[in-house]
Amino acid sequence: MTELTFPAVLRRGLPRARYIALAVRLAAAAAIAIYALTTPGFLTLLSANALFTAISFVGCVAVGMTFITLTGNIMSLAIGATVSASALIFLACLSLGILPAILVALLFGVVITGAQGFLVGHLRANPILVSVAALSLLLGGAAFVTGGHHIYPSGAGLEIFKDRFAGIPIDAWCFFTTVAVGQFILSWTRIGRLMTMVGSNVRAATAAGVSTTATVTAAYVIAGACASISGILLAARYGSGDMEIGVGYDYTAIAAVLVGGTGIAGGSGSTLRTLVGVIVISVIEVVLLLRGFSEQLQYLITGLLVLCVIMLHTLGERR
């Protein structure tokens, strides 16, 4: 016999918020799909696999970023620059042969990002500040070494990156492998579990005897390796590199991570979700491009989308 006021009705509905969130998500996916498929040129793009290639570069970065977010450290602002720098290093080392070049580039990404992870994990330094410092170091170092010039490859053998396997470009294969390996690490290895624990509650993890230093460093190492893979693919695809090549990848990657549904607070997430996020974001970007929206508008729309998704997630989690 209670008189219901509006907020009470609203809150009474909240246990169902989860389903509402799911429904909204499906509806949004359908809307995006229809909008994309009716965009002139989209189908050709699909059939030409251009979309696959486009998502692979930022996709690898996003998979790596998932690990940083998952361990509760939000994101690294230095990842875009790490992509560029890895591309440069890869190209510069090509004269040694393709495999050594890949290894050197990977090593670079792992060390520079792993070092951030060590600082964050061991000293509990603020992850954003650490990554800003790393960003300045990278930009300064690169400017010093290259003098701001482009680098062109000094060896051959890049053709193999332009191959296809089973009709799918090599870049896309690399990306899908990263997703699969990432997910494997999260679900099937001990270090993956420890990352979830640390991300969900650092103090509880410490009390349970988990080494936060090792765990967080491992997460950053993976992120660094992913960034380097992205840089190598980019360099191979375009045959040249400069420090601009990875600009903005960190933002797009974190957007994809969040849209996919990995919680920004840490402790939950998966690279499969990130895969979905990457596809959504990339499709929207491509469609906006095809429809002739200006770049500014593209940013704006992507930004709004991320905001909506985050609100949707919080709604889904509330009781």
Partner 1 sequence: MPVLAIDGVTKRFGPNAVLKDVSLALDAHEVRAVCGENGAGKSTLVKVITGLYAPDEGAVCVDGTPVVITSPQHAQELGIALVAQELSLAPALSVLDNIWLGNRKVPLLHRRQELRARARAALDKLGLNDLALDTPASALSIGRRQLVEIARMLTRDARVFILDEPTATLSDVEIERIFAALRALKAEGKSVIYITHRLGEVFEICDSVSVLRNGDLVGTRRTNEIDRGTLMQMMLGRSLGEMYPAWESSPGDPMLMVKDLHVPPLVRGFDLTAERGTVTCLAGQVGSGAITVLRALAGLTPGASGEASISGKPMRLRTVARAQAADVKFISEDRAGEGIFLRLTVGQNLIATKLKDHTAFGLLARRGLRATAASLAAAVGVDRKRLHSPADELSGGNQQKLAFGRWIGGDRPGVLLMNEPTRGVDVGARAEIYRLIRQFCDRGYCVVMASSDIEEVLGMADVVVSMYRGRQVARYRRGETDMQRILADITHPAAA
Return residues touching partner 1 (CB under 8 A). Answer: 1-5, 7-8, 11-12, 15, 188-191, 193-194, 196-197, 200-201, 203-209, 211, 267-268, 319
Q: Shortest Cβ distance from residue 195 to partner 1 (Å)? A: 12
For residues 38 and 240, what is the distance between their CA atoms, to the nearest angstrom?
35
Is 161 exposed, middle or buried, given 0-12, 13-18 or 19+ CB atoms closer than 10 A?
middle
**Both structure tokens of 306:** 């991320």
Give yes or no for a contact between 57 and 171, defined as CB atoms under 8 angstroms apart. yes
- The values of phi and psi at residue 13, to 5°, are -75, -10
CA angle (300 as vertex; 294, 305 as ends), nearest 5: 125
Would you say 27 or 204 has its CB closer to partner 1?
204
| Longest alpha-carbon distance in the chain | 82
Q: Shortest Cβ distance from residue 284 to partner 1 (Å)? A: 30
The closest alpha carbon to 249, from 269, 262, 232, 230, belongs to: 230
Looking at 94-126, list the stretches that DSSP marks H as alpha helix, in order from N- to C-terminal side: 98-123
Q: Shortest Cβ distance from residue 126 to partner 1 (Å)? A: 15
Q: Shortest Cβ distance from residue 21 to partner 1 (Å)? A: 16
For residues 85 and 226, what is the distance between their CA atoms, to the nearest angstrom?
13
Would you say 146 or 201 has its CB closer to partner 1?
201
Helix (H) or strand (E) holding 278: helix 271-290
Would you say 146 or 200 has its CB closer to partner 1?
200
Q: Shortest Cβ distance from residue 316 to partner 1 (Å)? A: 13
Would you say 8 or 311 has its CB closer to partner 1?
8
Q: Shortest Cβ distance from residue 9 to partner 1 (Å)? A: 9
Q: What is the CA radius of gyration of the chain?
A: 21
The position carrying tokens 């990842």 is 79
Would you say 64 or 72 has its CB closer to partner 1?
72
Would you say 59 or 267 has its CB closer to partner 1?
267
- Sign, CA torsion 291/292/297/300: positive
Would you say 201 or 298 has its CB closer to partner 1?
201
Q: Quote the distance between the C-alpha of residue 252 and its chain's center.
A: 7
Q: Shortest Cβ distance from residue 178 to partner 1 (Å)? A: 18
